[in-house]
Copies of this chain bind each other. A is one copy, B any other.
Amino acid sequence: MKIDRTVVRSLALFDKMADADLDRLLSHATSRRIPQGEAVFEQGQEATSFFLLLHGRLKVTQVTEDGQQIIVRIVHPGDLFGFAKALRRSDYPGTAIAAAESVALSWPTEIWPDFVEQNPRLAVTTMQTIGQRLEEAHTRIREMSTQEVERRVAHVVWRLCQQAGKREPNGIRIDFQISRQDIAEMTGTTLFTVSRILSAWEARGLVEGGRQKLLVRDPEGLSQLAEGAKE
């Protein structure tokens, strides 16, 4: 399948790559449409491909043996994901589900070494990405250890604002369907607590809720909450 290089040219990941190299890379790629609610891959499944999200939004989840679920991260357009093999894992550690209609490129894991070799920048970028991911995880651990729920929720919503926010007349819209349950799984709490917190915020004019919708009316106030402002 031929993929037009202009589609990916705008991504930071590829912006320094020569057209010829890029074409060669893309010649091995296949494009895939993922309808909302469908999984790109499932936890424990053998890792046969790695991916690049072009459009849409994914939730990466993990479930424990006893059925509890958490959201590991949200994949945004331009992010690499599912590169388990790069970390020498043979299976995917989590499940990637489309939170919105999405489009991703995929490559067979076998070509990962070529992928990296042909473009050393990629190796560096990948390292950085994983490093960032590790830092984020540590931040999350720190927050879960030391901060109370409301502040953690504020932080998550604030980050979603920056990574998936869309300007609207009344504030910033989180640009994909996200439930209270999702937010709970991102912050280590329950959907009830999240609901109560959002209700309280709505009463204060900070946000505006809805079924799987969220509009932040006062980003400034939210950020202050996330930073630990007393009230």
Contacts and interface: CB of A to CB of B under 8 A. Distances in A.
A134 B135 contact: no
A158 to B, nearest CB: 16
A68 interface: yes
Contacts of A130: 87, 127, 130-131, 134
B68 A124 contact: no
A196 interface: no
A186 to B, nearest CB: 9
Judged by DSSP, the binding face of A is: helix
Contacts of A145: 68, 70, 144, 185, 188
A66 interface: yes
Work out how many copies of this chain go into the complex.
2
A165 interface: no
A12 interface: no
Contacts of A185: 145
Interface in A171-204: 185, 188
Nearest to A83: B131
Given A88-B127, A141-B141, 14 more contacts: A62-B138, A66-B146, A66-B228, A68-B146, A87-B127, A87-B131, A93-B135, A130-B131, A133-B134, A134-B137, A144-B145, A144-B188, A145-B188, A146-B188
